[in-house]
Amino acid sequence: MPAPEGNKYAEKYPLEVAKDKFLEILEYAKTKDDCYSLQDAVLNCGMPLSTYDLKAKEHPELGSLKNDTKGWLTVRINYGTLKGDFNPSAGIWRQKMLGEREIPATQHIVNTNIEHKPLTAEEIKKKQEEIDDMI
């Protein structure tokens, strides 16, 4: 009898197995002082990079573990750069490879959900009283 359609019998990394592997990769990135790249952590833990990326996209919880791993690596690189262990340009480049981004000075974060309506006379009077009380 053939296997049912859509089965996962041949899947090497079902969610629970993949989660354990992602936790192993995170632990490797946390504890190996000479680990500076996501590829290093993934490959040293025995998972193919393409599988790692695919599983992270398929399952949000695995995507979160991937981001945590990148965070640990970024902290290590940042700390090493600040201590002078790394060339600053190389440190910044590595951080950008891990997804860190700068906010340009010309970019402003604006909340567009603010209602712009004038205060009523009563609201103005109340605010003036509050200010007077503080003085």
110-126 pLDDT tens trace: 666 666 678 888 988 99
Is residue 124 one of the residues assigned to a domain? no
Q: Which domain holds residue 75?
A: 15-102
Q: Which of 78, 89, 70 is nearest to 29 (CA)?
A: 70
Compute and round to an integer the Cα radius of gyration of the chain: 25
In-domain check, residue 91: yes
**Is the residue at 133 inside a domain?**
no
Structural domains of the chain, count: 1
Per the CB < 8 A criterion, the answer to whether 35 and 41 are in contact is: yes
* DSSP category for residue 35: -
**At 6, is the pLDDT very low, low, confident or very high (cuts 50, 70, 90)?**
low
Residue 3 lies in a domain: no
Position 59 in a domain: yes
pLDDT mean across residues, the chain:
84
State the pTM of this model: 0.65
- pLDDT beyond 90 at 90: no
